[in-house]
Amino acid sequence: MATSSEHVDEQSDTDQQDSNLVVDESGLKVDHRQEEELEHLRSDRSFFGYPKGIGILATGNLFNSICWASYGAVMIYYLYKPWTKGLGFTQGEAAQLIAIVAAINSMFEILGSWLADRVFGARKALVIGNITKGLSCGLLAIPAFSIGQGRAFAIVGMVLMNIPIVGASNASLTGMLFHRDDSRRDGAFAIHAIANNIAGFITPVISAQLGLVNYHYGFAIGAVAALLYAAIIGLPGKRFFGSLGSKPSRPLSVQEKKRYSLIALVALVVIAAFIAVLLLSKKVSVNSLANTVSSCTFVVAILFFAIIWRSKRISSTERHRLRAVTPLFIMQIVIGVDYAIQGTTLLMFLDQRINRKFGGIEIAPGSFTTIVGIISLLSGLFFSWFWVTDLGKRWKSSSRLCFGFFFTGIANFLLIVPTVVLNPHAGKYSVVWLLVYYLVSNFGGFPYGVAANSTVAAIAPKSYETQMQTSLTLSAAIGTAIMLVVYGRLKSLDQQLPLFLIIGTLEIVVAVVVMMFSKRFESMILDD
């Protein structure tokens, strides 16, 4: 046990080390050698005009998307298909469970980003988080020998799968590789989107079609992909990042590190076990669990934003810049509702109301998300090119946000109006309407996600780089929490379908309002 004198000596050593450091424009504490190294990394153009670290991070995004695409291609169907094909939950319960773990993901991403900023450093967080995710997906890959054992493994695996120890480390590392006024930063996030979409193109067909035989194959693919992500970051990391991200930007003391790490580990295990025991013992319903998680999400989100806003480590200039996130967070709440609908209602609509037979061959519902991958890949290629043109450079971040948000809303109308609204009694609808939805939402909506990440990277206060990236996810989690309550009342697909009209209208209105104040938004981002 450390004595008081030892603690004082440790603090003195830390203060002495800090006195030899300078703070660069992005808030990183570096010595003069590291400053030169950082400048070298940022000026590098060896990866298609970008720093070579972007190539590694993009590959990590590829494996991450393979993992999540495999998981997403089969998870909801595994939950509500009857035993022994699936786990026999109702459609409403399946939708709530998907939304519950999404909300848990967002809440725990705060912890992951905090650990990255203060305990592990971004690179180590990526390694540890992906090992955990690989093991969690592996748990889901174990065949169910009874409905009780299958549900227990599924629920614990879903919760652990959605505990993002990595936080927003990939996005944070990406932002660190550029000066704040470097116009290549948007392009780097677009490259990540391209990598994500390559995985989205390849993976769903394989995992979903295998899911027609056995859903566990898809989970096994996800486990392998997550472990590969950990390997490419952990093994050659220094070669591509130098010391960047190897240490926390604001490290805890040794005593604090041990205490907080133990608390986090115990908390995660207890929560996962608690949820599993309650569900299996039937002492709590999925609906009551959803209400509890929803309430916790609102509380955690409010506390998170209050802590950052009141932090004494944020300068007055940084605080002024932070005001620019208000419209962005509102947009994220709305998009969080949309994401929840896409991850549940849309997938059930595809399974039950879209004609999926071609030439007598049944196409698995999860396979159709490969279309999303193709469209999004082409979108990434187009916008990455467009944003380095003279015209693209003049397209400000606020315009990119509103453009993408507006067309996401339009896509919802283009799916639901020609089908359910105009032809409510049809048994099955043509796949054409689904293709139109995918095209508009993923091509037209592409600029929103890229611009949102890039904007947060530009305005994040020092020592809060990763946690501010997490704030995007947490804002979307508020939307997910809203849907947890909604799904408790709308228990069937037919009851949920009007949600497409509601969210589409809201997205269009918000996009127009934000665009009206775009000049003020831009001035706050660039404030020095």
Residue 499: how many other CB atoms lie within 10 Å: 22
pLDDT at 437: 95
Average pLDDT over residues 136-142: 87
* Cβ–Cβ < 8 Å for 75, 145: no
Inter-residue contact 510 to 405 (CB < 8 Å): yes
| pLDDT above 90 (res 338) | yes
User: What local confidence, expressed as pLDDT, does residue 418 receive?
Assistant: 92
Residue 337: burial class (beta carbons within 10 Å; 0-12, 13-18, 19+): buried
Confidence of residue 518 (pLDDT cuts 50, 70, 90): confident
Q: Please give the Cα distance from 155 to 272 (Å, whole number).
A: 8
CB neighbours of residue 231 within 10 Å: 16
447 Cβ contact partners less than 8 Å away, ≥ 6 residues apart: 383, 400, 401, 403, 404
Report the chain's mean pLDDT, rounded to a whole number: 78
**Cα Rg of the chain (Å, integer):** 23
Most confident of 259-263, 307-311, 334-338, 387-391: 334-338
Euclidean distance between the first and the last CA atom of the chain, given in angstroms as a whole number:
46
- Exposed, middle or buried by CB within 10 Å (0-12, 13-18, 19+), for 182? middle
Q: What are the pLDDT digits (tens) for 455-476?
A: 777 777 766 666 676 677 778 8
State percent of the chain over pLDDT 90: 13
pLDDT band, very low/low/confident/very high, at 149 (cuts 50, 70, 90): confident
Residue 329: pLDDT band (50, 70, 90) is: confident
d(CA 271, CA 275): 6
**What is the three-class DSSP state of 46?**
coil
pLDDT at residue 517 in the model: 81
Tokens of 242: 């130098």
Q: Is the pLDDT of residue 18 over 50?
A: no
Distances (CA, A) of 369 to 48, 81, 375, 376: 28, 19, 10, 11
| pLDDT band, very low/low/confident/very high, at 227 (cuts 50, 70, 90) | very high
Q: What is the pLDDT of residue 7?
A: 43
- Tell me: pLDDT of 4 over 50: no
Do the beta carbons of residue 358 and residue 367 sit within 8 Å? no
Give 209: exposed, middle or buried? Use CB within 10 Å, 0-12, 13-18, 19+.
middle
Distance of alpha carbon 73 from alpha carbon 212, whole angstroms? 11
Q: Please enumerate in sequence order all residues whose Cβ is within 8 A of that of 408, keeping only pairs 6 or more positions apart, or say none.
A: 335, 338, 441, 444, 445, 448, 507
pLDDT beyond 50 at 252:
yes
The token pair that represents 149 in the structure block = 């054992």
CB 443 within 8 A of CB 378: yes
* Mean local confidence (pLDDT), 185-210: 79
- List all residues 6 or more positions away from 259 whose beta carbon is below 8 Å from its beta carbon: none
Angle between helices 465-489 and 91-115 (to 10 degrees): 170
pLDDT (average), residues 512-526: 77
Q: Nearest Cα to 66, choosing from 474, 369, 350? A: 369
> What does the pLDDT read at residue 498?
93
* pTM given for the model: 0.67
**Residue 23's beta-bridge partner residues?**
29
- Crossing angle of helices 499-516/518-525, nearest 10°? 70
How many of the other CB atoms lie within 10 Å of CB of 354? 18
Cα atoms found within 13 Å of the Cα of residue 351, Cβ hemisphere only? 20
Tell me the pLDDT band of 76, cut-offs 50, 70 and 90: confident
Tell me the per-residue pLDDT of 45-61, one tens digit each, with 9 for 90 and over: 777 778 888 888 888 88
- Give pLDDT, residue 463: 61
> In the prediction, which pLDDT does 63 show?
92
Q: What residue ranges do the domains of the chain occupy?
A: 49-525
How far is it, in rounded angstroms, from Cα 473 to Cα 168? Answer: 9
For 275-291, the pLDDT digits (tens) are 666 656 655 567 776 77
Q: What are phi and psi of 167, to 5 degrees?
A: 60, -140
Considering only CA atoms, which of 373, 333, 401 is closest in space to residue 68? 373
- State how far the Cα of 383 lies from the Cα of 385, in Å rounded to an integer: 5
Provide the CATH number for the domain formed by 49-525 in this structure: 1.20.1250.20
Question: Counting Cβ atoms within 10 Å, is residue 388 exposed (0-12), middle (13-18) or buried (19+)?
Answer: middle
69: buried, middle or exposed (CB in 10 Å: 19+, 13-18, 0-12)?
buried
* Rounded mean pLDDT, 510-518: 86
Q: State yes or no: pLDDT of 430 exceeds 80.
A: yes
